[in-house]
Amino acid sequence: SDLVIIDDLMFMAIDRHEANLFFQLINQLYGQTSIIITSNKGPEEWGDILGDPAITTAILDRLIHKSEVIHLTGDSYRLKHRQTIFGNN
């Protein structure tokens, strides 16, 4: 694939085995395809979620190398437009 998109990465903690599998995925994709990742957690929080500082560093090293990091701030679009999207609940 020319592009892999991973949405809501680090939404919840993952165990060591899952972290290893994720590292293997990123390592395979590294330099081969474009990757877009969205996350509500900053990279400084990933270590706690992954539970392994070495794997976290290796993953971030591959993701951040030759990348464009876009940091968005402000209210969530879904929450900001809650009434128009979900009604008056």
| CATH number for position 49 | 3.40.50.300
pLDDT of residue 58: 93
Inside any domain, residue 12: yes
Q: Structural domain of residue 15, as residue ranges?
A: 3-81
Inside any domain, residue 87: no
Residue 89 has pLDDT above 60, yes or no: no
Inside any domain, residue 88: no
Inside any domain, residue 86: no
> Which tokens belong to 43?
């990279």
Number of domains in the chain: 1
Inside any domain, residue 22: yes
Average pLDDT, the chain: 86
Share of the chain above pLDDT 90, in %: 38
pLDDT of residue 59: 92
Three-state DSSP string of 27-83? HHHCCCCEEEECCCCCHHHHHHHHCCHHHHHHHHHHHHCCCCCCCCCCCCHHHHCHH
Q: Which residue has the higher pLDDT, 89 or 66?
A: 66
Please give the Cα distance from 86 to 78 (Å, whole number).
9
Inside any domain, residue 24: yes
Confidence of residue 13 (pLDDT cuts 50, 70, 90): confident
Residue 16 has pLDDT above 90, yes or no: no
27-56 pLDDT, tens per residue? Answer: 999 989 999 999 888 888 888 888 888 999
